Structure 1
Amino acid sequence: MRSAGPKERPALAAHAPGAWPTARLLLLFMVVNFADKAVLGLAGPEIMKELGLNRQEFGSAQAAFYALFSLSAIGVSLLTRRIRSTVLLLAMALAWSAAQLPMLWPAAGFGVLIATRVLLGAAEGPAAPVAAHHLYGWFPQRDRTLPTAVLLVGAAAGVALAAPALTWVIAAWGWRWAFGAVELAGLAWALVWALRAREGPLAPQVADPAGRVAYDTGPALGRILTAPSVLAAGFACFAVYWQISAQLTWVPDYLHTALGWSSGATGLAVALGSLANAAVLLTHGLLARRPTAGRTRPRLLPEGSGAGLLMLGAAAAVAVFVAGPPWLKVPMMCGPMALAAPMMTVGQTACARIAPAHRRGAVLGTVVGLSSVGAVISPLVLGRIVDGAGEAVAGYERAWLLTAALLALSGTLAAVFLRPERDAHRLGTPVEQGSQPYRA
């Protein structure tokens, strides 16, 4: 006898046993994930000095992380129909931990650095979409905004914790041991996950070898991915990925090289900026939770707020890198410049609303895979702009004007086209538990 589909299962409250403990474990998962990403930027000046790299070559090393990131995000997310997300998440953590090991070898040079970043990106590409897919097996639609924000806080917390900790490791033990530190953190998380992880009551069924599931209904994958809301969310997330990658790669160099800050002050500034991202994500999640959990439609939908915050983030980027005096830079990085971050929460929850549960992992993975191309392009483009300017400060001004324009454009498109309830109704996506029926 086939097991019941999601509509036949009992309703799940956000405080159900196992829901928030799972969210906390996945928060730590994202902390380690983004510590892995941040280590290269934090160790950048030492790596460039020891290996004799210019900024464009160093940007190539950062971009190498994303060489297979998108393909892996899409490919592994498609496996969520056949393999439990608990297994996929464990395999990812083990793989990205192993990818750090070669950099501990004293003779490892630029070629090994490139190879390990490619392998690391392939292991980490599906992390966010598969983690979100697993999380949504515990929380119904109306309660997903806050746990999604908590999940994404791990990205900011990973950088915030990594910046001072890895800066200390680099100063005390050398930059190679920074890679060893994040490897050990990944292995520790994998051990805890292997002992405690389980699927949520709202998790979709896994297909049999023939690809059949008991409730294979709803719109086709191609129709979902071409819905206006999904396209708008994807482009907005492209802009946010661009900004995140630019910050991880070039803000430490900008503060240290262009402005002459010490390594300690640079690490502290990066940590404060990341904590600001975490605070903004949590505040947005808490504010969005009340209207989305109510019985009436909110006056300001979360997707509308995300679009507006993107445009405010664009204005802040101009103030930090172009128009602002030196004393204003850290306050702006620790406040208005973090306002683009909630678009990641908005984009994921919007795409999850349009996709039926059994297609959710594939949709989230495809959107993340394609939008993360922004993180591939950003280090290369901005590195070339800075190197081509002749003078670092002028180069960074031009680079961040381009970033601000991209954020503003994506925010405008999101404000016009991001309407997940309308698109879900048009496509005939089944209404999940906890969702409010669409009213035009």
Structure 2
Amino acid sequence: MVSSKLSAPPASAAAPGTESRRKAWSLTALLVVLYVVNYGDKAAFGIIAQSLKDELDISASQIGLVGSLFFFAFTVGGFFAGALNKWLSLRTVLIVLAIVWAFAMLPMVFAATFGVLVVSRMLLGFAEGPSSALIHTATYSWHTPAKRGFPGALLASAASISKIALAPLLAYFSVTFGWRSALITMAVLGVVWCFFWTRHWEVGPYIPAKATKNSVDPDEEPRVPWRRILLTRTFISGAFLVASIYALVTVVLTWLPSYFEVGLGYSRLQSGSMLAIPSVAGLVSLIGGTLLSDRLLAKGWSSRLVRIVAPSICVVLGGGILFFLPSISSSPGAVAIVSIGYGVGVVVLPLCNAAISEICPPRQTAGTLGIFLALMAIGGLIGPYVTGLIVDAAATPGLGYATAFQTLGLASALGAVLTLIFADPDRDKDLVRGRAPQRY
């Protein structure tokens, strides 16, 4: 029995189509947990924002500036995803990044000043920047291109899972034991994840982290000049769209508990816990939309229709719903508008990522997604700070937050219209590989 076990090839050496699907989904789940921790780090800042504002005596625009500086560092870090994937194995690079996240939580626990807050959040952002592309690459290594919508949705749903599972816990700890307890909790969770990662991770057969004799033959998908990928209309219009949606996601993470507390009148504990409400809508949208998209692709529907047209229409609808937020006077009604507008639009994130992964050769997936997700993070650079400025300038905080969400809805709807006009993964996949595009 021992000899048979030792002689069996590792899962990562299996030919595509022969790998263990149980192993594939188990490791996908492990990566989703890492992404949940990743978003928990972001959500923790939103939950303790008002406590920091009170203790450090800072303004809403300063809180927004810290949020945007985090995403500035996040954007810069994202451009290193391809290089890190080339220099280090996925096993090594993700454990290093996760440890940095954990320790980046701690400076504010021991020295709470505005300067320390800025530096610790920027360190966290820089370390989290490459992780999005690397986590997607690791996940995609276990799934064929035609079936990446649902795994991608599980990753995208990590933001919702974090706000549903972690936000109420962090809010309770923050109110009961002080805001520092939320940061300590996230640091501990990051270290615990590293233990499971080192014991169980294996790379899958579809996007090898490094070339080996058992990898997919790179000659079948030769590398192409980066400009050929990055200048496609799918990449450019898709980047604008996901940046506008990500601005909404980051404003929800940074500001939604504050909106519920000072804008709608809920208590601090209620506001932190209610961060889960939009996430439920987002989770339903993500899981349902991507399951349907993968099924339609399997039936022969075009990638443009499934991964571009349908989710872009959802974004237009979500933006239209958010447009009415300033005119809603009821607090429960405002919560419902934000939740539905947010939930309808976020389905575009995993589907657009999957579409981008289609147009590039497998060995350039990490680099392509790293650049794409770094450009996406520009939305996070802009959204929180602009929201803080709008709130400081508004007649009331509630009106300021509502106006900010309305503006974000309009921006995302515009991005969706541009993507509807210009994006076509099937066409651009042919162009990237130097083939004449077919008529789809």
Question: Fold-level match, TM-score > 0.5?
Answer: yes
Q: 2:131 aligns with which of 127, 133, 150?
A: 127
CA deviations 1:332-364 (Å, max 9, x no partner) are 333343111111112110110001011110000
Mark the CA change 1:239 to 1:387 in structure 2 (over 3 Å): closer, same or farther.
same
Equivalent residue, structure 2, for 1:164: 168
Deviation at 1:295, TM superposition (A): 4.2
CA deviations 1:262-297 (Å, max 9, x no partner) are 123212321111122112110111111211123454
CA deviations 1:166-221 (Å, max 9, x no partner) are 0110112100111000000111111110111111012235269xxxx953714311
Tell me if 1:261 matches 2:276: no
TM-score normalized by structure 2?
0.90
The 8 Å contact of residues 36 and 182 in structure 1, kept in 2 or not, is answered as: yes
For the residues of structure 1 that align with 2:352 and 2:305, how far apart are their CA atoms?
16
The 8 Å contact of residues 310 and 340 in structure 1, kept in 2 or not, is answered as: yes
Deviation at 1:92, TM superposition (A): 1.0
Tell me if 1:149 matches 2:149: no
Equivalent residue, structure 2, for 1:405: 410
SS at match of 1:18: helix
Mark the CA change 1:424 to 1:324 in structure 2 (over 3 Å): closer, same or farther.
farther
For the residues of structure 1 that align with 2:156 and 2:326, how far apart are their CA atoms?
25
RMSD of Structure 2 on Structure 1 (CA): 2.2
SS at match of 1:187: helix
The 8 Å contact of residues 100 and 127 in structure 2, kept in 1 or not, is answered as: yes
Tell me if 1:418 matches 2:423: yes
Tell me if 1:281 matches 2:293: no
Opposite residue 79 of structure 1, the aligned amino acid is: L
State how 1:344-359 maps to structure 2 within 5 Å: 344-359=349-364
Opposite residue 420 of structure 1, the aligned amino acid is: P
SS at match of 1:301: helix
Q: 1:197 aligns with which of 188, 191, 201?
A: 201
SS at match of 1:334: helix
Opposite residue 302 of structure 1, the aligned amino acid is: R
Opposite residue 62 of structure 1, the aligned amino acid is: G
Tell me if 1:182 matches 2:186: yes
Deviation at 1:155, TM superposition (A): 1.6
The 8 Å contact of residues 159 and 274 in structure 1, kept in 2 or not, is answered as: yes
SS at match of 1:201: coil
Deviation at 1:298, TM superposition (A): 7.7
Equivalent residue, structure 2, for 1:137: 141
Tell me if 1:80 matches 2:85: yes
Mark the CA change 1:173 to 1:363 in structure 2 (over 3 Å): closer, same or farther.
same
Unpaired stretches in structure 1, ≥5 consecutive residues: 1-7, 431-436
Equivalent residue, structure 1, for 2:379: 374
Greater shift after overlay, 39-48 or 328-337? Answer: 328-337
Q: 2:397 aligns with which of 385, 392, 399?
A: 392
Equivalent residue, structure 2, for 1:103: 108
Equivalent residue, structure 1, for 2:51: 46
Mark the CA change 1:310 to 1:72 in structure 2 (over 3 Å): closer, same or farther.
same
Mark the CA change 1:297 to 1:307 in structure 2 (over 3 Å): closer, same or farther.
closer
Unpaired stretches in structure 2, ≥5 consecutive residues: 1-12
Opposite residue 47 of structure 1, the aligned amino acid is: L
TM-score normalized by structure 1?
0.90
Equivalent residue, structure 2, for 1:313: 318
For the residues of structure 1 that align with 2:43 and 2:347, how far apart are their CA atoms?
20
Opposite residue 24 of structure 1, the aligned amino acid is: A
The 8 Å contact of residues 137 and 204 in structure 1, kept in 2 or not, is answered as: yes
Opposite residue 299 of structure 2, the aligned amino acid is: G
Opposite residue 402 of structure 1, the aligned amino acid is: T
Opposite residue 145 of structure 1, the aligned amino acid is: G
The 8 Å contact of residues 255 and 261 in structure 1, kept in 2 or not, is answered as: yes
Q: 1:227 aligns with which of 225, 232, 238?
A: 232
For the residues of structure 1 that align with 2:19 and 2:415, how far apart are their CA atoms?
32
For the residues of structure 1 that align with 2:160 and 2:27, how far apart are their CA atoms?
19
